[in-house]
Amino acid sequence: MKRLLAPSLLCSLLLLSVPGSQAATFDSGNTAWMLSSTALVLFMTLPGLALFYAGLVRSRNVLSVMAQCFAISALVSLLWLGGLYSLAFTSGGAWNNWIGGFSRVMFVGMGRTAVGPNGIPEILFAMYQMTFAIITPTLIVGAYAERIRFSSMLLFSALWVTVVYTPVCHWVWGGGFLQQRGLLDYAGGTVVHITAGVASLVAALTLGARRGFPRQSMPPHNMTMTVTGAGMLWVGWFGFNAGSALAADGAAALALAATHIAAAAGALTWMTLEWRRFGKPSVLGIVTGMVAGLGTITPASGSVGPGGALIIGILAGCICFGMTQLVKRVWAIDDSLDVFPVHGVGGILGTLMAGLLCAPGLGVFAGTGFAAPNHSVAEQVQVQLLGIVATFVYASGVTWILIHLVQAVSGSMRVSPERETEGIDLLLHGESGYDL
């Protein structure tokens, strides 16, 4: 995604819709691939993430998680149409370092003829980016699962995607200050994984643990459901990363290869560590390691080679595994479905490794070059660290403010202790996940 909209490409994209400008032609191959990638990324959320998360919670809360995933998807879709796409991906004039403008509110001016980057329809580009905006706040569901009020969740998600996700998206991909500095974030290490991971940590700390945590065991109620969702995530992630090339070309193929290798390495590494420590290779450990590998390779998938992807996958399995143990067992933070250790830490690690492994002179571990001529590894790492710190600080601070704002409006984001004990499927939705 780093190469998505360089400033010159952003200007070209906007000029294509100006009356009298020379119209570009559509590329049918790129368009077909991006139509498929858009469907794949949505497939990651619905049904992939919904099933993955739903299997991890207790049976009395399975529908609540699915309802949250579906409702956020619908809510963000309308917000994206109503102005968030425009704020993320158009020029903001004097404010362009920080936020975009309003020229594409309600997708105005797109229609059938406006051509976006690489000869794809601009409205297809907007829809592809919509799927990224959908999955990011949906990831946060894993942090407050089994204890949040549905109305509070909707209000928080709407505010969060507006004032956290959209500005960071503009900074990195829409011509903002991080893109201008050459940050390497191909498909969302900062924009998606760090923002969602940090928000999850803040939410877990602010809202508090589930009743009974950590004394009471809270194992997944349906691992078959979780593994099914995990498989959908693995397949859908090819649209996430390879689709970020915005073309059916070698860059997409390389990103696909890097994505798959990192996922495989993450799964086997996590499995091995768990096997050695606990005596058995759990299925949950295998699929969680896979997700850690996918999340960590995401920012680097367009700038590292297959050898670099192998390193990143192994590191993801090791470091994210260690962080889950630290967060849950040492710090006793109830990030219910390990969003921060897997996605937040993975996004930080992958964004940093993109700078370290993108250099073309690393032999079998060589990357695909730098964003600017004569860029050194040290200079690129400084840019990567800037992106990590800026995203971490902004996302954590604003998330904390939003949670307290929603608390003030709604009285409490959490259900009552009694409702939490009984389960929130029947109490909040009037339905049960299982009629047995």
Confidence band of 18 (pLDDT split at 50, 70, 90): very low
Confidence band of 367 (pLDDT split at 50, 70, 90): confident
Confidence band of 3 (pLDDT split at 50, 70, 90): very low
pLDDT in tens, 325-362: 999 999 999 999 999 999 999 999 999 999 999 988 88
Structure-model confidence comparison of residues 15 and 109, the more confident one:
109
Domain-by-domain residue ranges, the chain?
7-416
Alpha carbon distance 284, 276 (integer Å): 15
Alpha carbon distance 94, 77 (integer Å): 28
Please give the pLDDT value at position 194: 98
pLDDT at 435 over 90: no
Backbone torsions φ then ψ of 307, nearest 5 degrees: -65, -45
Please give the pLDDT value at position 1: 42
Distances (CA, A) of 225 to 52, 57, 233: 6, 11, 12
Distance linking the first and last C-alpha atoms of the chain: 46
Residue 412 makes CB contacts below 8 A (sequence gap 6+) with 149, 152
Query: Range with the lowest mean pLDDT among 36-50, 206-220, 312-326?
Result: 206-220
pLDDT at 11 over 50: no
* Homologous superfamily of the 7-416 domain (CATH): Ammonium transporter AmtB like domains (1.10.3430.10)
Please give the pLDDT value at position 374: 59
Helix (H/G/I), strand (E/B), else coil: 92: coil
pLDDT in tens, 246-274: 999 999 999 999 999 999 999 999 999 99
Alpha carbon distance 288, 18 (integer Å): 47
Tokens of 385: 């660290």
Structure-model confidence comparison of residues 35 and 113, the more confident one:
35
Please give the pLDDT value at position 372: 54
Omega before residue 137 within 30° of 0, cis: no
Distances (CA, A) of 8 to 15, 34, 111, 117, 421: 11, 21, 23, 11, 55
Query: Please, are residues 203 and 395 in contact by the beta-carbon 8 Å criterion?
Result: no
pLDDT in tens, 71-127: 999 999 999 999 999 999 999 999 999 999 999 999 999 988 889 999 999 999 999
Query: Please, are residues 384 and 351 in contact by the beta-carbon 8 Å criterion?
Result: yes
pLDDT at 14 over 60: no
Q: What is the mean pLDDT of residues 295-306?
A: 96
Query: Please, are residues 192 and 132 in contact by the beta-carbon 8 Å criterion?
Result: yes
Please give the pLDDT value at position 371: 54
pLDDT at 436 over 50: yes
Query: Please, are residues 412 and 149 in contact by the beta-carbon 8 Å criterion?
Result: yes
Tokens of 36: 């498929």
Return the exposure string of 353-391: e unless at least 16 CB atoms fall within 10 Å of the residue's CB, then b. bbbbbbbeebeebbbbebbeeebeeebbbebbeebbebb
Please give the pLDDT value at position 289: 98
Helix (H/G/I), strand (E/B), else coil: 91: coil
Please give the pLDDT value at position 20: 32
Q: What is the mean pLDDT of residues 151-162?
A: 98
Q: What is the chain's mean pLDDT, rounded?
A: 92
Please list the residues that pair with 115 across neighbouring strands: 121
Q: What is the mean pLDDT of residues 46-60?
A: 97
Please give the pLDDT value at position 361: 84
Mind spelling out the 3-state secondary structure of 162-197? Answer: HHHHHHHHHHHHCCCHHHHCCCCCCCCHHHHHHHHH
Please give the pLDDT value at position 4: 42
DSSP 341-396: IIIIHHHHHHHHHHHHH--TTSGGG-BS--SSTT--HHHHHHHHHHHHHHHHHHHH
**Burial, 186: exposed, middle or buried (Cβ in 10 Å; 0-12, 13-18, 19+)?**
buried
Q: How many residues does the chain have?
A: 436
12-16, 320-324, 377-381, 409-413 — which one is most confidently predicted on average? 320-324
Please give the pLDDT value at position 366: 86
Q: What is the mean pLDDT of residues 197-226?
A: 95
Tokens of 136: 């990011």
pLDDT in tens, 401-414: 999 999 999 999 99
Sign of CA dihedral 101, 76, 135, 47: negative
Q: What is the mean pLDDT of residues 418-436?
A: 90
Query: Please, are residues 39 and 239 in contact by the beta-carbon 8 Å criterion?
Result: yes
User: Considering only CA atoms, which of 201, 233, 57 is closest in space to residue 135?
Assistant: 233
- Tell me the percentage of the chain whose pLDDT exceeds 90: 86
